[in-house]
Structure 1
Amino acid sequence: MEEESRAGFRRLWLSTGSGNLADGILLAGLPVMATTVTTSPSLVAGVQVAFMSAIAVAALPSGVLTDRHDHRNLLVWSNVLRVLGLGAVLAAVVLGDWRLGAIYVAALLAGSTEMVADTTAEVAVPALVPRAGLAAAHSRLVGTQLVMNDGVGAPIGGWIAAGSMSVGMAVPAVLYGVAAAIVRPLRLPPVDRPPRRPARTEVVEGFAALRRDPLLLRMGTASMLMNVANTAFFAVAVLLVIGPMGLPRSAYGAVLLAVAVGGVAGSGLADRIVDTIGVRRVLQVSPLVLGGAYGLTGLAADTAVTVVSLAVLGASGIVWNISSRVIRQQRVPAPLLGRVSASIKLLSLAAAPVGGVLGGVVADLAGVRWVGALALSFGVAAAVVLWRVDPDMQPRDDQPSEPTRPMAIRRSMPVEPPWHPLPPIR
């Protein structure tokens, strides 16, 4: 049984790798494609607005789907839908002449299906690994996301998209198909699911559980502010690269590689950082570091400074993302995990499209470099939300059983490769 679980996790891991490689190629490629159609910062930022809007809208339905349905089937069909959807968009590009519209549709499709796939993969982990191995398992998953999205996918996506929109959409479609094929034989242990009730009732239960937990509620609020910063900055980052920095479009993905390098390097220090400064300081300092990296990158508009700042961004983001994910899985009962995770993601992502709009407006009015200062201000606001946080605070209505206290992360977080801040902070 233990060997079967290990094999199941490896299959989940490999499928995640293929799917996230496709995500990296597509999400780095779409803004580059947009710059071949328009030079308007607002229209280029619209790609990120569409992507983040789709993620926010899909958050609650994905939580209900995850708690109701077989995880393997959800993983298979979310990838199959990506293949079919990108195929339809590609056909429209080839047969018609609405390239900017096709880019927006591809962003909407990518955001909605990514939310379902990522939520399902995250919630499936506890069924495949023992509780003590959660941090290590998530480190592997988010490490794969980081490397495939930013380290491999982003450079390839930027390069491909600069040459051909059709190839830029066809390659991810093939990789999504591979992800579906890998995960299809996955066998998960049976789960006792409660009788199905109206979706609204189940959604309300997830929100109620989140509201009762002051730590998770504060973390979700801080994530929301950080995602405004994240979306504002990366909505126009390609314009920063090809404008003030003076680099070609094809270099955009290579610049994003710095995030992956920083994340992988920082993952080796994650355990030491948490042990040295504690969970509380990790939660408080990470938003300041992230905001500072956005601000320095935008205001300096220098290639060397950008590479260093994005590497710091990757290192800080990885510690935040793994810490928050493990805290969540240690505090939330299994039957509610999908809905609570989706509720937190909705809270953290709801304002992200606003960040894309703000980034485009600021770039139009004041110049693309000042978007970094905007992102910095939201990072400071997130740090203020968490400055008085108590990492041992318990839910109001019940006391979690051992070992759910988030301080356990200090003992369990491994020194292994983990994750990726470019897609949303969660």
Structure 2
Amino acid sequence: MIGPSFRWLWTASGLSNIGDGIAVVGVSLIAVTLTRSPLLVSLISAAATLPWLLLALHAGAIVDRHDRRRIMVVASWSRAGVLAVLAATAWLGALSLPVLLAGALLIGVAEVFSDTSAQSVLPMAVPRDRLDGANGRLIAVQTLGNNFLGGPLAGVLIALGSAAVLGTPALLYAMAGLALLGMRGRFRVETPSTRSLRADITEGLRYLCGHRVLRSLAAFSGVLNFANAAYFAVFVLWVVGEESRVGLPPGGYGILMAALAAGAVTGSLVAGRLARCAGQVRTLLTADLVNSLLLLVPVLIPTPVAIGVTAALLGATNAVSNVILVSLRQRLIPEDLLGRVNSGYRLIGMGASPLGAAAGGVLGSYAGLPTVFCAAAALCVIAVALVSRPVSTRSVAAAEAESQRDLTPHLV
């Protein structure tokens, strides 16, 4: 199943996601040293995800026109450059919250192009009937890098200073770009569009809006991401520092992220088997319902042990859901539309994240952090209940059968 191109993609993903883990946790820890305001801390998450709202559609159209691997290389090196500048700024003692926000925004721009390309390039590297296994391995290494390695490393590096926290992921992103150069094969659609970007974007949106299953899943992802962004934008204030409810030191937050990663790696590797045994729709909805209810545990039992166990379960259920959702999209969307339809989907899904992060900061400032956590959990449970009707085993099976019929002329 694993060809050379996939191995290089897998290696690059591992390197860049270790960088992601260090950057995400490290920037949050740096922000907490600059301010204790829930609103200001939440702006870091909002800035990092805002490009999804602004650029997702254009990124999808560009990905469907150009070499997807090359876009990923440029994005990796761009993130390396931004972080290197931030590290130099920190080393000179000039790092401030506005500079950190600007850096998070620029890194977010590169992430939009990198992630859109990565999800669109995978079906070019592995057969479509093996996407569950490939996505499981990718999400496993992504989570391992993000949380199991990157999170704890951020906790260690913060003791060395902000320059170390920002400079280390810069090096990892640069190495990931080099690894991607090892991929061989065709990573551009055979007949890219020559129409205007607006026409291409419209075509992708029309396909998404006209597809009942994809449309429903996009709305579902948007609600879940909104709620989770609100939750985790201020979560660090609940668990880290002497003023927090839990009182973890910065290094303890990295260990908490490692617990989340351990669960996520397990969930990623068993997601395909669970989907085959219990059905992909039933597995998806069950995982998301359990994940939603787990969000209440840090409020009800604010102890390090309880939150650590919860983090592992959150990671596992979230990974199972992600593997199924990504694989399903890759099977349902035609190759020449993957970038555009995926970007429209993620505009709704990821575009909700900066709005949720900002909402979490505002609500936390005026109503308190427990209100944010309880509201997020309730919203997720409602979303699972609502999506269970349009997204059923029968509707998904019919959509997959229709997708296979659409592919037949290209395979003959």
- Normalising by structure 2, we get a TM-score of 0.91
Give the letter for the 2:214 counterpart.
L
2:238 pairs, out of 216, 236, 240, with: 240
Rounded to whole Å, the distance in 2 between the matches of 1:179 and 1:330 is 27
Give the letter for the 1:307 counterpart.
G
Tell me by how many angstroms 1:379 deviates.
0.8
Task: Kindly indicate whether the alpha-carbon contact (under 8 Å) linking 2:9 and 2:183 is maintained by their aligned counterparts in 1.
Answer: yes
Rounded to whole Å, the distance in 2 between the matches of 1:92 and 1:250 is 23
Rounded to whole Å, the distance in 1 between the matches of 2:157 and 2:78 is 23
Mean CA deviation greater in 344-353 or 97-106 = 97-106
Q: What residue is the counterpart of 2:322 in the other structure?
A: 321
2:204 pairs, out of 203, 206, 231, with: 206
Tell me by how many angstroms 1:344 deviates.
0.5
3-state SS of paired residue (1:399): helix
Is the counterpart of residue 61 in structure 1 residue 64 in structure 2?
A: no
Tell me by how many angstroms 1:199 deviates.
0.8
Rounded to whole Å, the distance in 2 between the matches of 1:87 and 1:132 is 40
Q: What residue is the counterpart of 2:370 in the other structure?
A: 369
Q: What residue is the counterpart of 2:117 in the other structure?
A: 120
Rounded to whole Å, the distance in 2 between the matches of 1:280 and 1:182 is 35
Tell me by how many angstroms 1:64 deviates.
1.4
Give the letter for the 1:393 counterpart.
S
Task: Describe how 1:382-401 pairs up with structure 2 within 5 A.
Answer: 382-388=383-389, 389-393=391-395, 399-401=402-404
Tell me by how many angstroms 1:233 deviates.
1.4
Mean CA deviation greater in 166-175 or 122-131 = 122-131
3-state SS of paired residue (1:247): coil
Mean CA deviation greater in 204-213 or 117-126 = 117-126
Q: What residue is the counterpart of 1:411 in the other structure?
A: none
Q: What residue is the counterpart of 2:69 in the other structure?
A: 72
Rounded to whole Å, the distance in 2 between the matches of 1:211 and 1:237 is 34
Give the letter for the 2:257 counterpart.
L
Q: What residue is the counterpart of 1:224 in the other structure?
A: 222
Deviations 1:88-111 (A, max 9, x none): 333344446342112212221222
Tell me by how many angstroms 1:402 deviates.
5.6
2:163 pairs, out of 136, 143, 166, with: 166
Tell me by how many angstroms 1:346 deviates.
0.5
Task: Kindly indicate whether the alpha-carbon contact (under 8 Å) linking 1:18 and 1:179 is maintained by their aligned counterparts in 2.
Answer: yes
Task: Kindly indicate whether the alpha-carbon contact (under 8 Å) linking 1:299 and 1:370 is maintained by their aligned counterparts in 2.
Answer: no
Q: What residue is the counterpart of 1:89 in the other structure?
A: 86
Tell me by how many angstroms 1:279 deviates.
2.3
Task: Describe how 1:1-400 pairs up with structure 2 within 5 A.
Answer: 6-95=3-92, 97-189=94-186, 191-242=189-240, 243-388=244-389, 389-393=391-395, 399-400=402-403
Task: Kindly indicate whether the alpha-carbon contact (under 8 Å) linking 2:87 and 2:163 is maintained by their aligned counterparts in 1.
Answer: yes
Task: Kindly indicate whether the alpha-carbon contact (under 8 Å) linking 2:76 and 2:174 is maintained by their aligned counterparts in 1.
Answer: yes
Distance of aligned partners of 1:391 and 1:339 in 2 relative to their CA distance in 1, 3 Å threshold: farther
Distance of aligned partners of 1:102 and 1:250 in 2 relative to their CA distance in 1, 3 Å threshold: farther
Tell me by how many angstroms 1:77 deviates.
0.7
Rounded to whole Å, the distance in 2 between the matches of 1:195 and 1:383 is 37
Q: What residue is the counterpart of 1:415 in the other structure?
A: none
3-state SS of paired residue (2:404): coil
Give the letter for the 1:390 counterpart.
S
Give the letter for the 1:118 counterpart.
D
Tell me by how many angstroms 1:293 deviates.
1.5
Total equivalences in the alignment: 400
Rounded to whole Å, the distance in 2 between the matches of 1:366 and 1:299 is 17
Rounded to whole Å, the distance in 1 between the matches of 2:95 and 2:72 is 31
- Normalising by structure 1, we get a TM-score of 0.88
Rounded to whole Å, the distance in 2 between the matches of 1:113 and 1:54 is 9
Give the letter for the 1:168 counterpart.
V
Distance of aligned partners of 1:130 and 1:274 in 2 relative to their CA distance in 1, 3 Å threshold: closer
Distance of aligned partners of 1:98 and 1:266 in 2 relative to their CA distance in 1, 3 Å threshold: closer
Give the letter for the 1:401 counterpart.
Q
Task: Kindly indicate whether the alpha-carbon contact (under 8 Å) linking 1:298 and 1:371 is maintained by their aligned counterparts in 2.
Answer: no
Give the letter for the 1:357 counterpart.
A
3-state SS of paired residue (1:68): coil
Identity %: 32
Q: What residue is the counterpart of 2:410 in the other structure?
A: none
Give the letter for the 1:210 counterpart.
L
Mean CA deviation greater in 285-294 or 386-395 = 386-395
Alpha-carbon RMSD: 2.1
Give the letter for the 1:310 counterpart.
A
Distance of aligned partners of 1:227 and 1:401 in 2 relative to their CA distance in 1, 3 Å threshold: same
Tell me by how many angstroms 1:27 deviates.
0.6
Tell me by how many angstroms 1:316 deviates.
0.8
Rounded to whole Å, the distance in 1 between the matches of 2:146 and 2:314 is 15
Deviations 1:11-69 (A, max 9, x none): 11111111111111101111100011111111111111111212332322221121111
Rounded to whole Å, the distance in 1 between the matches of 2:6 and 2:234 is 37
Tell me by how many angstroms 1:362 deviates.
2.7
Tell me by how many angstroms 1:387 deviates.
2.0
Give the letter for the 2:354 counterpart.
P
Mean CA deviation greater in 24-33 or 350-359 = 350-359
Tell me by how many angstroms 1:155 deviates.
1.2
Rounded to whole Å, the distance in 2 between the matches of 1:94 and 1:101 is 16
